[in-house]
Amino acid sequence: MNSELITIGSCTLDCMLQVKDILRFELFDKEIVKKYTAIEYSRKLNVDGVRFVPGGSAANIASNCAMLGLKSAYLGVLGNDFSASICLDDMKKRGVDLSNIIQTDDDCTAFSVILKTEWGKDRSILAYKGANNMLKPEDVKDDLFQNIKAFAWTSLTTESGCRAIEKALTLTLENGGKVFAAPSMSIIKNNPKWAKILISNSNVVSLNKEEAQEFTNETNIIHMIHKFLDLGIKVISITDGSNGSIISDGKHIVNSSIYEGPVEDTTGAGDAFLSGLLISQLNEFSLEKASKMATAMSYLESKEVGVREGLPNSLRELEDFIDNNEIKQKVSQII
């Protein structure tokens, strides 16, 4: 299968734990408020619900886009374990090409424990990268990128993982494709050198306000936008939870609200947002429509527990949603 989209990054089995018997507190440091989820020392806590959900940003983006009709492949390393079986079965069901996945006995499949509490959007995550971090540049084959339209990368933080992303990025650009970046806080904080290299060479970058603030060292969102554009990025999107999102192509800025409705679980919402942006870019939609598509994907994903549930099964279905539901948008010229 000649893939139009290839993704590299995390493929993870998420274990979602619903917990009530847990503490929360805040520390004030001048103007900064730090919030903590805490477990009382040496105490056994009751868990109210357990759910295993296949996730991981790169696997999510490949799955989301495959469901929208794009020929999508995930490239990465998984273990030979029950976690891999669940992850692979789910991606296969959604139409993702798995022929370039490597499985190993040297480490286990990436695994995350997500603590879901009663405090709204709070989701503390314990993440183990596992076999994901074993990807090497030689695992990225030149011929995979011959018919590439888009390459999307999410955070790997090891030297070999970052070099593998860089190789895929270069091959994509050489073959006329677009590079989409969804860098997480892990690479921005833990490997800032590679974060800057990879982000600077991407065409479209999407991240949340906290990640953008950490990367740019700015607090004003317009200043953040300018810093990304100055790196040569063609389109930058910054999401801000219930406050909506801001997208710019260097000429215009589109501020969008969110779709109103019940929110069940925001895990994977950022990946869904980028997926909508990616599909819009490949279809050459306007910035306003791209913002609606991305916001709709994020909202529909958040309506149900899990990271790939509730999403549309076709581009037509997604377009029907934005045609029949409204959000507020403000379009302005960039200054």
How confident is the model over 69-93, as pLDDT tens digits?
Answer: 999 999 999 999 999 999 999 999 9
Report the b/e string of 274-292 with b at 16+ CB within 10 A.
Answer: bbbbbbbbbeebebebbbb
| Domain residue ranges of the chain, discontinuous segments joined by + | 5-12+55-112+131-333
State the pLDDT confidence band at 19, using cuts at 50, 70 and 90: confident
pLDDT for 191-249, tens place per residue?
A: 999 999 999 999 999 999 999 999 999 999 999 999 999 999 999 999 998 899 999 99
Separation of alpha carbons 285 and 291, rounded Å: 10
Whole-number Å distance between alpha carbons of 165 and 139: 10
Q: In what order do the strands lie in the sheet with 110-116?
A: 47-55, 12-19, 110-116, 123-128
Q: Which residue has the tokens 């589109």?
A: 254
> Is the predicted pLDDT of residue 52 greater than 60, yes or no?
yes
Q: Indicate whether 1 pLDDT > 60.
A: no
pLDDT at 27 over 90: no
Position 112 pLDDT exceeds 80: yes
Q: Which residues contact 212 (CB under 8 A, 6 or more apart)?
A: 218, 221, 224, 228, 238
Fold of 5-12+55-112+131-333: UDP-N-acetylmuramoyl-L-alanine:D-glutamate ligase (3.40.1190)
Helix (H, G, I), strand (E, B), or coil: what is residue 174? Answer: helix
Are 154 and 188 within 8 A, CB to CB?
Answer: no
Nearest to 187 by CA among 172, 205, 168, 167: 205
Q: What is the pLDDT of residue 92?
A: 96
pLDDT digits (tens, 9 = 90+) for 274-289: 999 999 999 999 999 9
Can you give the C-alpha Rg of the chain in angstroms?
19
pLDDT score of 33:
84
